[in-house]
Structure formats: structure tokens, C-alpha cells
Structure 1
Amino acid sequence: MANTRSFTEYVAKTFDNQFWVAAETYLDENIESLDIELYRIRKAGEPEIADVKVEHVWVDDLPEMKIQFDVALSVTFEIPEADYHYDDSEENTIWLMVRCSGDIGCNLEDFNIFEVSSYTGKNCAKNPLDDSLVPYIPYEKLDEVATAFLEEYYPEALKITQYGQDPIWVDPNILTERLGLTIKNQRIREDSSVFGQIYFVDTEAEMYDSNIQSNVTMHIEGKTIVVDPYMYLLRNLGSVNNTIIHECVHWVKHRKVFELEKLYNETASHISCEVKGGAISTVSKKSTEWMEKQANQLTPRIQMPAEPFRIKANQYIAKFMRESNARHTVDVMEQVITALETSFAVSKQAAKIRLVELGFEEAIGTYTYLDGHYVKPHGFRKGAIKINQTFSLSAQDAAIERFVNPELRALTANGDYLFVDNHFVYNAPLYVEYDENGRLALTGYARSHMDECCLVFDMRITSKIENIYHTACFLNREASDITFEIKYHNGYQNAPQERQIAMRKKQQEEYIEIRKRMTDDPEQCMQLLLDWRKMSYTDLGLEIDRDPKTISRTVKGLTSPKVETAALICFGLRLPPIISEKLMSVLQCPLNHLNTDHQWINEALHIKYPEPLWAVQEYLSQYGVEI
């Protein structure tokens, strides 16, 4: 990888003579007005420049490949004694601002100094570039820059279409044609790890030939975007469109970076984009990181311009809510995302992320996959959680956090919060119910009021990846190489409605009363619990698929039960933690917290106890635990 390229260093080295001439001319014309105080000499002679140094360069982006740049020069000069009887001299330093222009596309051969003045500390850059000639684009200006891009190259995409009409999406084939670029479908690497490359100049490039299953040297014309055709098989159309437009952004915004690289490295030819989201090329590391960041940020904003996208999203929300008689936006957000995906020819995840960026926070809880299954859409009060927070977490993250975080463990110790559909939800009828299969699920109210009934968790990416990727990862939560650290947001606890708390309190009082009546006699405890649940040994045997006589012998101490069997009885009776702990102890089956299987059984006894047995077994089987 090349070192970071510096425009300042290039200018200082290449135009050193011109800066000396400019400094000498300025001194000749302005020495009288510089108000220089002399201390050692009596009569000033002609000044002689000792050194001219480029201190800083500010670059202003102009159309095409032109640039304008202000150069701060420090000019050190000596003023000798004019009276030959003396041999003294004095050294002085002044700062100058030298305003220059040129065309980076022709190696600055038209370099021109058009103004030299005293340095004031101010420069005139309106569209500044950094020292690698990468544009400065603040986050809050991204939509503005994307809009300007479309105004110049695809203005029809900014048109607001009427209700019932599709928006005008950015067709990458039309965009590349307008930019004078060509798309070439060609395998790039055997492992398809590089899905797109843009070539700025003609070059002989190494490509993978699937016919002979080997790399070959191939001539690639300049202004060509090479796309691996496997993209069309491995990814959706929206991702392919994103790749092509991504390369177009490189062409428009980063050609000057490439031309600077060529001034240092004549073999530079292209920018290459890897599957993992980082750019690899002959261009310097710092430059490629910033270019890739900008292309990643600008591309979806070009594909989904803010105002047309926002208006179309609202139109779809109104349409689907009216058609389905939905009460909450979250209930139709899946349909909205799917419609936007089709209308703007993007991926579902791109549409989802764009919605959230534009303030549709209901989209955060849509299209989330955890533990190998789809988590139902959910919504919450606007601003209830931050971008790096979530209501959803995997079962393993939930178990780990319960183990290490005493506050979370206290909240879940008595069953106040259950782990339902990958959320810790308050155990009350307004928030949890049994679905048609007998499994616990969040109610429709709960899924629309997550901030009222569910716990919030902080997320932090622990794998080595740039922060710019965080938003996408947090919103998507898909299987990937990204490693998340989930932490219960200590001190932040959403408040369930008072009526639900009162109901839960009454339920807990009932549990405590049953617990108080339990003795150390297994038979007494079992009969008490069976009566409480209005069950018999036969009913329990059917529930847990065990011979009632076997259960009876276990309770009477005629056989020594395993921990798994005792847990099975607890799940069959759907015992809350305060009662199951006592029964496990009475049956002389204490859990060994150093045993991994026992840890998962303990987890299920605390957060899955109201579930039907088959659902508990399904939960435990993910971790190789059978009961």
C-alpha cells in the first residue's frame, strides 16, 4: 500500500522556483510598506531571500479537473547594511498568501499564480478538498451534495410524483452513459471478494477467467466500471445497482485523488471495492478510507433522494394503513419497505436504513433476524432509544447479560420480565399473550409500544471495523462477520403502565403465598402445585410425555430423578422461578452453575417458564440441551 499522498508536499517540491520568484517580486514591490523595524543596521540595503517554505495549502474544488489553491508561504530574508563601512545584516520573516490555479488532469502543467498578498489567515475555498484531494463533506451536508449530484447528472430523479405513481429511480445504465462510462461484466477474482472496480485510464489488468479457471491479463479501457457477474447471482438487483452507482460516485468525486496518486505513482489505474465494504487499490490507505466512506454515504442518498423518498414513504404508509385498517405505522412498515425497495430499485436493507435516517423510526424494528428466525416488526416512541441501542437481542446475548449484570438479573429473577421473541418484555397481559400455537408472543400493543414494556440494551461493535459501518449494522442485525457486544442499559428502564404493574404485583403475591405453603416434603409440594394448577399426575404425565406412575415414584423418593427430569416437571407445571427453585431443591436436584447445560436450564426456568414445553425444548435445543 502506498504512503498517504500529500498535495502540499507535491506543490512545495514541484513549484518551489515559482514560489521563490513570487516572493522576490512581492518583496521588491512592497518592501517599503512592510513596516520592518531595524535594530542592528543603520541603512537598509536590498533584501535577499534566504528561504521560502510552503507552510500550508488550502484546495478549492472547481468543475471538471480544475482546482484553485491558496498557499501560505513563510519567506525568510536578510536585509544587509547598505553602508559598506559596516558588515551587519538583519533577518526577518513574513508570511504570504499565494493564490494559484491549475488542472490536475494535465498534471498541473497550466499552473498559474494569479495573486500574491500578505497572509491574513483566511482562505477562499468554497468547496474544500483535503491534502489528498478528497472532498470535505460534513455528515449534515450529505443530502445536499447528493441532490447537487442528481441536479447535474440525473435531475428527473428529484421529481415528486403523484399519489399512485412510481418515483423516477436512478437507472445505473443511464447514469453511466451520461458520465461517459462503460459497464463491463467480468469476473475479477476467483473468490468474488472484489465486486466492482472503476478504471480511470487504459491499463493491462489481471482478471479471473472462469473458462480456464486461472487469472489472465486483459486490456481494460479507461472510464470503465468492471462488475463481477456473480453479483447478479449472489446479491439482489438493488445491491448490483448500488455497486454501479457507488463506482459512479468515485468517478465524479474522487478523480482528483486518483490524478494526485498518478503524479506520485504512474502505474495507478483504478479503485477497487471489496465485498466487506472497504476499498483496496493502489491509492493510499487514508485516501481510500475516506473515499469509500463518502461513496458508501452518498450512493443511497443518490438512489433515494431525501424529498421524493420521504414523500413516497408517507404515501405508501397512508395507502397500506387504509387498505389493512391498521392502527399503527409499524403494522405496515414491512409493506412500505418492500414497496420502496421495488420503486427505487434498492435492497430492503438500504430502504430500511434510509427510512430511519429520514426520521421513520418505526422501520428500526422491521426486518430483524436473530437466532436464525425473523423477529416481528415493532415500534416505539420517537427518540425513545439511540441509534446504538436496541430492544432485540439473541438468546445467547440475553443469557450472558443476565449472568454478568446484577441489575438485569434482579429484574428477571422473579419472572417480571420474560424473554419473548428476542425481547425482555414485562410480564403482563397487555404485553404478552399466547399465539395460535400456544407460544408466548408480544401483543400488538406491545409491538407498537416497545419503550413502554421492553428493556433497552446498548450495542458496541467489538470486531475491527470502521465506525461508519455501525449504523447499518445496528439497524440490520443480520448474520455477518461483525461481532456485537450487548450491554443492559443500566439505569434506563422503561416504565410499564401502572395498571399492568398492579396486576403483576397481585400475581407475584399469589406466587409468594404458594411458595410459603411449600414444605420440604416432595409429596406435599407436588400435591400443592398440582392443585394450584388444577392438574393431576395423569395431566402432568400427558403434558411432559412421562408415565404418571414414574412421576409419582420420583416424588416419593423411590427413584432418584435427574436435573433434566425435575426441570421437565417445573416446565410442565409452568412454575415461576420463585417456586421452581424450591421444587428443584425439594427433589434434591440443585442446578450446578458450572455446568453449561444447567446454566441454560436455569435460564429457561427464569425467562421461558410460561411457554409450552415444546417451545422451551426448542429454545434449549439451540444450545444442545435436551430435557
Structure 2
Amino acid sequence: MAEVRSIFSYVDKKCYNGLYNAAAEYIAKHWETMDLESQRVPDIQTAELADAWVRRVYVSDLPGDRIAFDVGLEVQIAVSSADHHNDFSDELTEWLRISCEGDLAQGLNDWTIINTCIYRKQNFPENSMSDALVPDIRNDKMDDAATTFLREYYPEALRITNPKEPPVFVDPMVLAKRLGLQVVTRSIREDGTVFGQLFFDDADTEMYDSDQDEMVPVHIPGKTIIVDPTMFLLTNYGSPGNTVIHECVHWVKHRKVYMLEKLYNDKAHGITCEVTGGVQADLSRRATERMESQANRLAPRIQMPSGPFKAKANDYISRFMREMGARHEIEVMEAVIQQLATDFVVSRQSVKIRLVELGFEAAVGTFTYIDDHYVKPHSFRKGAIRVDQTFSISAQDAAIQRLINPELKKLTETGDYLFIDNHFVYNTPLYVESDADGNFDLTAYARSHMDECCLVFDMKVTSKVADTYHTVCFLNREPSDITFDITFHNGFQNAPPERQIAMRKKQQEEWLGIRRQMTDDPEQCMKLLLDWRGMNYTDLGAIIGRNPKTISRTVKGETAPDLKTAAGICFGLNLPPVISEKLLEVLGCRLMPMNPSHQWINEALHVKYPEPFKSAQSYLEAFDVEI
């Protein structure tokens, strides 16, 4: 796995001396107004900086290649006073916030300090970025982000046309041209695993030449998107047009992630997109996962912007109900989906999912064509699955998932689940029936209770990404009707109760097995837990916002154990309570029953441990507890 690229680490190394000098100057000028208090020095007469540590770096996006970054600097201040008989001295700890700006294209060589003040907690600005310089875009702000994108690069697509006019289609080639990008179609690899590459800078690389039947040296200019049409035509996996829009999103939103990578690795030139596995670009896994998620969410919103899309959907629903004499929306929804797919030049399945996202619930059970046949209507308990989940998959996806997923293979090998009418259904007479010829089908009860008897699969819209896939990529499986990747969810979430009990028991047995291996040696425990999670100190540090060396020193006992760091380790490793309790004990960080902050941390360790670190962090922040 590539090393995690961190603006925190880069600023700490690049800017430390300047930050130290700024802190020293600020303290020299303002110490008398800083409300410094010391029990050893009742009358402070002098104060000067003794030491400083970079503890936080908060980044905001700026136009061009520039960024703004606020540094949370922990400072140690030496204070003293003297009378006729005694000398008094002490060292106090305070925090300063130093606001800076710099140009990534210059490696922050031009960085300047804008302001220095006492550190106070602030809300993140709208244009904030992660430590890897991925923009922070909340899920509920994706439509806003897509609208902003279109307003700048394709404003005509936001126009709401009258009911008799089609909407404005976002032409991917026009969009690329407006961004100054050129699109080239050519073979990339013989095996077809790479379907596209985005080059930020000029690069000398190798690509497959079908005439010579071998990889040949090629020079690719910067600002180029390479799309492999052969892979699309042969496998039916991807759409070149949608790939272009997806890569345009990366160019606009994620260029600074690449620029940060470039500061660490001057040989980096772009991003490679593969069908399965592998890391071709030297970008960190976590950064690219966030980039992939954002591009997958933004691309369809750019193709089907909420305002024009909703307006046109309502136009067609009214028109088709009137023309067809329909009484319910469900009767015309298939015609609506087909017309919208034609107008916006996307797949019917993409339209269906977008409709559901925008509140058109009648679209959920319609237009499901898989393996060249119509899947019979079915229903399930409201809220049983997410918008990006399904019970219905193709036979090809079913075979792939049985091959690569041992849990699904085990289920189907025993006969507990059968693949019937494009569903994995639990094999009992309540859910499965046969006709006179012995052909199996789902019972009427099963079709109205899919959440009770069928396995759930995750969908990634316009993407074909395996669980271990860590590069930025995009894939739309057009011209087939399924335009998202299918991966086995877990198989037990909506399964019969006894299966849930069995899975839970198995999970607890694994936890207890790990717990029994833990000794009273902190280093042994951390190695065990990191290996269990497939991580190292660098990975963990990136997740919880701590310097990996700080975590290592804490574990080795070189520094006094800090509860915030110890709790952060537990959340970062998603440790279940039985394991986190032991780790806190080994690290010497006990949770005190009478301390409210400790009790909130204890509560989070029990109810938030499976969730991402930031979820636990947000949960605790609501109760004024910081980790």
C-alpha cells in the first residue's frame, strides 16, 4: 500500500521554524494579555517561548493551486518573576492558532502567515479539506456541489425547460474541452483490466499496441484522459462517455490530492483506473477511497442535476398518466424512466436510482431487467435496505460473488440459499415453490417479504469496484441496464433470525479469540490488533489525526499515556468493547465512573465502535468531549 500522504506532516516539516518564530514573536508581544496563570509564579514578570509542537492542521481550498491552512500549535511558555529574596519560575502550556496560505505548485515555498491568535475551536469552513487534501463534501451537500460544478463549467444544464422541450444534455466531450482536457481512446493493457487513465502532467509510460501485440513506450501529454474502448466493447463493463465525466470530476475536485502526492513523489503523473484490485497510482488508499466515493456520487448528479431532473420527471408523470388514463404513478413509471434515460443520455437503472434519491418512491419496484428478462415485481419492508442496495442481481454477478466471497460460497454450497429469478432466497417451503415441471420460483409470500428471506447486495452507481480496490476509478456497465457494481453485503442482515444468531455467535467467538491472545504487554497488544485489522501505525495515525510516532511512544511507555489518544486508538481500530476495555487497561488509561467525559467515552466505545472514527468523534463532540 502506498504511504499515506499528509499535509499535516508536510507542514510540520516545511513550516516548523517559521511557525516557531511567529509563536515566539506573538508571546513576546502579547503574553501580558494571554491570561497566563501559574501556582508557582504568583506575579509573572517575564514570559518567553520554550518549545512548540504542531498538533493540528486545518486546510481550506483556495482558487488555483493555493490553500489556506490553520495550524494548531501547542506552545510551552517559560514564565518567571523575582523579588528581593526568591526567584520563581514555571513552564505553562497554551495553544495558538496560526493562519497561513501557500501555493502547492511551489511546494509551499511561498507560504505566508496571515494571522496569529489564541487557539479557539471553530467550525470547519464550507471549503475545508482532509489531511490528504480531499474536499470535505457532506452527503447531504452532494447536489449543491454538483450544482456549483455545473454553474461554473456547464451552466446551461441547470436550465429548467418547458414541458414540451427536452432537458439540456451534459455532453462529456464538451465538458472535457471546457476544462482544457483532451480525450484519447486507445488500448491500455492487453488483459483489459485498465479501462482509463487520467494524466495530470506529461508522462513517458507503456501501453498495449494491438498491432504489435505487446506493450510499447508512449508519451502522454498532461491534461489527458485515456479511455480504452476495446475493454468496453469486449466486456460490456464501461461507458467511455460516463468515464470522461467521472474523470472531469476528479480533475476539478481532486487535483490538489495529486499535487500533494507530487510533493512526496516527483515521478507521479496521474491516476490509473482498473476493473479489480491493485494500486497503480501512488496515492494513499484512504484518500483515493474518498475521491472514488465523491466522484461516484457527483457524476450522476452532474448528468442528472436535481432541479431540471425533478421538473422533467414531474412533467412526464403528469403527461403519461393523462395520456394512458392511469390512476397511479406506478403504472407510468417505466415509461417515465425510459424517457428520462433518453433525454439525459444515461442508463435506465441510473435514472431509477436518481428518482428514488429525489423522493420518487414509485420508482423502487419498477423497470428491473436482468439477464434479458423482466424480474417480477417484488416489495419489502420500508427502510429494510438502502437506496444503494438490492435483492436482484445478474447471474454473472452471482457467479463472480460466489467465486470471490467465501461467505456467499459457503451459504450456497450448503443449499441454504438458492439463486431463483435473480435472487438468493432462503430455501424453505415458505419462500420457495415449484411448478408441475419442477421449476422453482419464489412464493407470493416471499415476493412481498424480500427483506425476510433474500440476501442483500451493495450497489455502487456507475462503478465496478471490488472491496480491495484502492485506486480512483469509474466504470459504467452500459449498454447493459445495470450501471453499478454488485458486491455481497453480508448475507445475514435480513436473513432468518437463526442465521443472525449464528453469525453473531461466530463474530463473538472471533473477538474472544483475539482477547485471549492479548497479554499485559502494550507493544504485543498493539501488534496483535494492528495485524488483525491489517494496518500499521501510519494507517492508524491518518485515521485518528495523530502522529504515528506519538502513538508508538505512548504504546512503548516513552510518554505518559493519554486517554484521548488511547480512546482514539480504540475507535480507529474499531475495537469491540471486550477488546477496547483490555487495551485501555494495558495502556494504563482507566475510565473513571465519576468523570462525565470518561463515561461518554465509555458509552461511545460500546455503541459507536463499529463506525468510522469521525462518527465516534462527532458523537462525542455533541457532549463537549474531544478525542
Scaled to the shorter chain, the TM-score interval is 0.5 to 0.7
Match status 1:307 vs 2:323: no
The match for 2:272 is 272
Secondary structure of 1:281's aligned partner: coil
The one-letter amino acid paired with 1:60 is: S
The match for 1:117 is 117
The one-letter amino acid paired with 1:386 is: I
Contact 1:58 1:123 in 2 (8 A): no
Shift in Å, 1:387: 2.7
The match for 1:425 is 444
State how far apart, in whole Å, the 2-side matches of 1:420 and 1:377 are.
15
Q: RMSD of aligned C-alpha atoms?
A: 4.1
Match status 1:459 vs 2:466: no
Match status 1:72 vs 2:91: no
Secondary structure of 1:49's aligned partner: strand
Alignment of 1:106-185 (within 5 A): 106-122=106-122, 125-185=125-185
Contact 1:330 1:379 in 2 (8 A): no
The match for 1:356 is 356
Paired positions, count: 462
Alignment of 1:122-271 (within 5 A): 122=122, 125-230=125-230, 233-234=233-234, 239-271=239-271
State how far apart, in whole Å, the 1-side matches of 2:279 and 2:159 are.
33
State how far apart, in whole Å, the 2-side matches of 1:237 and 1:167 are.
27
1:87-117, CA deviations, whole angstroms, 9 ceiling, x for partnerless residues?
7632112110111112223322221111100
Shift in Å, 1:414: 9.8
Note closer, same or farther for the CA distance 1:207–1:28 as it changes in structure 2 (3 Å cut). Answer: same
State how far apart, in whole Å, the 2-side matches of 1:236 and 1:336 are.
25
Note closer, same or farther for the CA distance 1:117–1:212 as it changes in structure 2 (3 Å cut). Answer: same
Alignment of 1:408-487 (within 5 A): 409=428, 411=430, 423-426=442-445, 451=448, 456-457=452-453, 459-461=455-457, 465=467, 482-483=487-488
Shift in Å, 1:214: 1.2
Contact 2:195 2:232 in 1 (8 A): no
Shift in Å, 1:323: 4.0
The match for 2:386 is 387
Note closer, same or farther for the CA distance 1:38–1:365 as it changes in structure 2 (3 Å cut). Answer: closer
State how far apart, in whole Å, the 1-side matches of 2:61 and 2:339 are.
38
State how far apart, in whole Å, the 1-side matches of 2:440 and 2:366 are.
13
Contact 1:100 1:111 in 2 (8 A): yes
1:244-284, CA deviations, whole angstroms, 9 ceiling, x for partnerless residues?
01000001100111111111111111012223499741111
State how far apart, in whole Å, the 2-side matches of 1:480 and 1:98 are.
45
Secondary structure of 2:169's aligned partner: coil
The match for 1:400 is 416
Contact 2:416 2:427 in 1 (8 A): no
Secondary structure of 2:57's aligned partner: strand
State how far apart, in whole Å, the 1-side matches of 2:391 and 2:201 are.
49
Contact 1:278 1:289 in 2 (8 A): no
The one-letter amino acid paired with 2:416 is: I
State how far apart, in whole Å, the 1-side matches of 2:392 and 2:310 are.
26
Contact 2:229 2:240 in 1 (8 A): no
Q: Which 5+ residue runs of structure 2 have no aligned equivalent?
A: 396-410, 459-464, 498-627
The one-letter amino acid paired with 2:385 is: K
Shift in Å, 1:38: 4.4
Note closer, same or farther for the CA distance 1:477–1:359 as it changes in structure 2 (3 Å cut). Answer: same
State how far apart, in whole Å, the 2-side matches of 1:261 and 1:220 are.
19
Q: Which stretch shows the higher mean deviation, 349-358 or 405-414?
A: 405-414
State how far apart, in whole Å, the 2-side matches of 1:73 and 1:162 are.
56
State how far apart, in whole Å, the 2-side matches of 1:163 and 1:348 are.
20
The one-letter amino acid paired with 2:386 is: I
Alignment of 1:29-40 (within 5 A): 29-40=29-40
Secondary structure of 1:230's aligned partner: helix
Alignment of 1:502-517 (within 5 A): none
Shift in Å, 1:291: 0.5
Contact 1:330 1:377 in 2 (8 A): no
Contact 1:320 1:336 in 2 (8 A): yes
Contact 2:457 2:486 in 1 (8 A): no
Contact 2:70 2:100 in 1 (8 A): yes
Q: For CA contacts below 8 A with separation 6 or more, give which structure has more relative contact order.
A: 2
Shift in Å, 1:138: 1.3
1:393-428, CA deviations, whole angstroms, 9 ceiling, x for partnerless residues?
89997973599x999846369999xx999543059x
The match for 1:60 is 60
The match for 2:28 is 28
The match for 1:101 is 101
Note closer, same or farther for the CA distance 1:421–1:254 as it changes in structure 2 (3 Å cut). Answer: farther
Shift in Å, 1:124: 5.7
Contact 1:321 1:327 in 2 (8 A): yes
Alignment of 1:548-559 (within 5 A): none
Shift in Å, 1:465: 2.4
The match for 2:523 is none
Shift in Å, 1:152: 0.9
Note closer, same or farther for the CA distance 1:83–1:261 as it changes in structure 2 (3 Å cut). Answer: farther
Contact 2:186 2:228 in 1 (8 A): yes
1:36-61, CA deviations, whole angstroms, 9 ceiling, x for partnerless residues?
33454687565443311111011112
State how far apart, in whole Å, the 2-side matches of 1:484 and 1:384 are.
16
Question: Normalising by the residue count of structure 2, what TM-score does the alignment of the two structures yield?
Answer: 0.64
The one-letter amino acid paired with 1:374 is: H
State how far apart, in whole Å, the 2-side matches of 1:51 and 1:457 are.
63
Note closer, same or farther for the CA distance 1:230–1:111 as it changes in structure 2 (3 Å cut). Answer: same
State how far apart, in whole Å, the 2-side matches of 1:328 and 1:279 are.
49
Secondary structure of 2:364's aligned partner: helix
1:208-228, CA deviations, whole angstroms, 9 ceiling, x for partnerless residues?
111211112211111111111
State how far apart, in whole Å, the 2-side matches of 1:414 and 1:186 are.
50
Note closer, same or farther for the CA distance 1:175–1:34 as it changes in structure 2 (3 Å cut). Answer: same
The match for 2:373 is 374
State how far apart, in whole Å, the 1-side matches of 2:379 and 2:103 are.
53
Note closer, same or farther for the CA distance 1:248–1:478 as it changes in structure 2 (3 Å cut). Answer: closer
State how far apart, in whole Å, the 2-side matches of 1:391 and 1:186 are.
36
Contact 1:127 1:136 in 2 (8 A): yes
Secondary structure of 2:90's aligned partner: strand
Contact 1:459 1:486 in 2 (8 A): yes
Secondary structure of 2:430's aligned partner: helix
Secondary structure of 2:239's aligned partner: helix
Alignment of 1:512-527 (within 5 A): none
Shift in Å, 1:142: 0.8
Contact 2:431 2:445 in 1 (8 A): no
Note closer, same or farther for the CA distance 1:139–1:478 as it changes in structure 2 (3 Å cut). Answer: closer
State how far apart, in whole Å, the 1-side matches of 2:365 and 2:279 are.
30
Note closer, same or farther for the CA distance 1:120–1:481 as it changes in structure 2 (3 Å cut). Answer: closer
Note closer, same or farther for the CA distance 1:227–1:455 as it changes in structure 2 (3 Å cut). Answer: closer
1:528-550, CA deviations, whole angstroms, 9 ceiling, x for partnerless residues?
xxxxxxxxxxxxxxxxxxxxxxx
Contact 1:366 1:376 in 2 (8 A): no
Contact 1:2 1:285 in 2 (8 A): yes
State how far apart, in whole Å, the 2-side matches of 1:9 and 1:198 are.
27
Match status 1:298 vs 2:298: yes
Shift in Å, 1:10: 0.6
Q: What is the percent sequence identity of the aligned residues?
A: 44
Contact 2:432 2:442 in 1 (8 A): no
The one-letter amino acid paired with 1:400 is: D
The match for 2:586 is none
The match for 1:334 is 334
Contact 1:391 1:456 in 2 (8 A): no
State how far apart, in whole Å, the 2-side matches of 1:363 and 1:77 are.
64
1:326-363, CA deviations, whole angstroms, 9 ceiling, x for partnerless residues?
44433443333222222111123222221222223333
Question: Normalising by the residue count of structure 1, what TM-score does the alignment of the two structures yield?
Answer: 0.64
